[in-house]
A and B are shown apart, each in its own frame.
Chain A
Amino acid sequence: MKSDVMTRTAVQAPVAAPVEPLVEIRDLHVHFGTPRRQVQAVNGVDLTLARGEVLTILGESGSGKSVTLRSLMRLLPERKTRLTGSVRVDGQDVLAMSRRELSRFRGRTAAMIFQEPMLAFDPVFSVGDQIAETVCRHEGVSRREGLARALELFDRVRIPSAKRRLANYPHELSGGMSQRAMIALALSCRPKLLLADEPTTALDATVQIQILLLLRELQRELGMSVIFVTHDMGVANEISDRIAVMYAGRLVETGAVDTVIAQPRHPYTLGLMHSRASGELRGQRLSAIPGAPPDMSAPPPGCAFAPRCPHADATCTQALPGMSELGDGHRAACWRLGETAS
């Protein structure tokens, strides 16, 4: 029953992509097993990313957005994770890669930046050395050339007095500075795909906007594709061309950023938009989404959002809705789309 829905959603032709898409995820399932229980973190995600495109995966904690991102580089603990489906990046099958191929692939084809830059660096080496080492390993150049590249990258990510900063240890950099250094590290081997896992969430507002603008600029200059994971609609609006909203391990809505933010159609996306606190709503109750996301070790049958959905009826709790085309690449997975049109 599940599989026929999956094949229905799988026949989505990449829109406006004459060449092969850079990323192609088909029917991705990620389950984590512990002796006591199994968590079904991702349940059938189909996603394509064109070259030079910036896609944001928007979702709350536990929605599977970070897990999806990590499976693109196979960063999940191998022993405990069961990955099925197919993940192709730049024509290579990521799930079939050997250890060796994988270490060539990571950093060179795809690189990732994280929420906590401090944890991404080794505390006992200077940041310059770490970037130089990455370049040397991947491109077989000398350490000297590696350091020259590191300096060039530091200038590129606008770290002031770059030369002096290369000799700094991670703890000597401020939050915004270490995030810039991590971006430099990620870009050191000119990846085609940059994966960003909430890279601005831990930053102050005035620094966050600087990093977002920097990423936007670097993406344009280098023509990279970017997948950006966040829970913040504002951040998604600032950075992306396209948004994919995830809930309980599935995509529920995708489309161009303007469309999804201006005319969301999935009840979950609508709920998120309406529950935002703002000045105009002062003194009024917020229309919060009731309840909580489902326990992913026993997800409900049918639409996972149905228990919290104002439009849900009997169909919703029984069968899983497939993605419906709403025009211009805007799609939503809901049985009751007729009721959410504005």
Chain B
Amino acid sequence: MSHQARKEDSRNAAPLVTSDPRDRGGRAQPLLRVKGLRKHFVIKRDLLGRPLSRVHAVDGIDFEVRKGETLGIVGESGCGKSTTARLLMHLLQPDGGEVIFDGDPVGTRGGLSLREMRRQMQMVFQNSYASLNPRMTIEESIAFGPQVHGVGRREARQRARRLLDQVGLLPERFAQRYPHELSGGQRQRVNIARALALEPRLLILDEAVSALDKSVEAQVLNLLGDLKQEYGLTYLFISHDLNVVRYVSDRVMVMYLGKVAEVGDSEALYRAPAHPYTRALMSAMPSLEPGRRTQTAPLAGDPPNPIDLPPGCRFCPRCPLAVDLCRGTEPELAALPGGGHLSACHRADEVQSAVSNPQPSVEESV
């Protein structure tokens, strides 16, 4: 296919990231730095309108996304991964915290305006159908963003056709179609093309491949890999599928009830998880080894909702390793020896050495 051939070219070409004129701080400066990001939803108020109970959807998280990397975010429902994505795009107003894009604070006076931020940061959603306007042809949908940002109509359409070709949809055949005339995989390709239409530097993929069939998922993952190479993109890849996250990510961040539980290099984190929750998530993956089935569930019950949080560590009611310290003091996200790997657990060392409680190895189950 044509985009396949182009992919080979781009691998030979110099990486685009360094030559990007929009790059300000150089390679060492993280593309995105998030500090103390917080969002609480009030669900009940008293007679005077003062909040009585609230959902701690995102409860003060810090992380950074390095230039050119893919950061994977995993966690179960209610952990705040999608809320984080929405906060970054300012689709939701954060209650607190700072988002710094390539050195510029976003949404503050003197910083990057929301409009400019959205030009550099785009998002692809899980529901490929709901995120397209049913009354626009896909060409119009893709060209819409650039037109809003001042690109001429004709040029925007040309760009749309070029992008369609790039995501593997023949423009002659697909440009004039409406979203309902496409399959789920094709629609997700359109959404990716639309997200790229403003030539962003960071793409947030919120469960972007989760609704696709496995054979189509692989095609879209390949496409995302090619586009990343070609445009020097940085990805924030949110998913609940640990296998897919491990495949795409350079670094992985695990979230639990609105907090970061663990973050680190993908291979290091998968090989030696340093948070009991990460370990539980991994041993909950269905085994794909014939004759070797999971014997016990790592955790009992459902993930609790982030309304009434326990004092201390929020994982401790479900944690097999919890001690008194965990019930009293909330652990900070702290670096482990070796650097680059952070865990919010008082007993991270013991978890990592994993002698205390041998678990079915993940290595063997993939």
Contact = CB atoms under 8 A, between A and B. Distances in A.
B76 interface: yes
A285 interface: yes
B218 A275 contact: yes
Interface string A194-232: 000000000011111110110000000000000000011
A23 B186 CA distance: 38
B89 interface: no
A77 to B, nearest CB: 22
Interface residues of A, number: 46
B281 to A, nearest CB: 6
B243 interface: yes
Contact of B76 (A206, A213, A232, A262): A206
Interface residues of B, number: 48
Contacts of A212: 286, 294
Contacts of B108: none
B243 A277 contact: yes
Contacts of B287: 234, 237-238
A286 B288 contact: no
A18 interface: no
Contact of B247 (A233, A234, A237, A277): A277
Contacts, number: 136
Contacts of A277: 217-218, 221, 243-244, 246-248
Interface string B286-297: 111111011011
A209 B298 contact: yes
Interface stretch (B194-202, B208-216, B328-336): B208-216
Interface string B237-262: 00010111011100000000000000
B219 A288 contact: yes
B280 interface: yes
B185 A238 contact: no
Interface stretch (A113-121, A136-144, A174-182, A315-323): A174-182
B302 A176 contact: yes
Contacts of B150: none
A292 B289 contact: no
A90 B294 CA distance: 31
B317 interface: no
Given A262-B290, A282-B266, A292 B185 contact: yes
Contacts of B184: 61
A309 interface: no
B285 A234 contact: yes
A175 B280 CA distance: 19
A193 to B, nearest CB: 22
A61 B183 CA distance: 11
Interface string A248-288: 00000000011101100000000110011111111001111
Query: Which 9 A/B pairs are nearest by Cβ-Cβ distance?
Result: A234-B286, A288-B218, A277-B247, A275-B218, A258-B290, A204-B76, A60-B213, A289-B215, A286-B218
Interface of A: 60-61, 160, 174-177, 204-210, 212-213, 231-235, 237-238, 257-259, 261-262, 271-272, 275-282, 285-290, 292-293
25 contacts: A60-B214, A61-B184, A204-B77, A204-B302, A206-B298, A209-B285, A209-B297, A210-B300, A212-B286, A213-B296, A234-B285, A235-B286, A237-B288, A279-B266, A279-B267, A279-B270, A279-B366, A282-B246, A282-B267, A286-B218, A286-B247, A288-B215, A288-B216, A290-B219, A293-B213
Given A208-B286, A278-B243, A278-B246, 15 more contacts: A60-B214, A61-B213, A174-B302, A205-B242, A212-B286, A212-B294, A233-B288, A238-B286, A258-B290, A258-B291, A259-B290, A275-B215, A281-B247, A289-B218, A292-B185
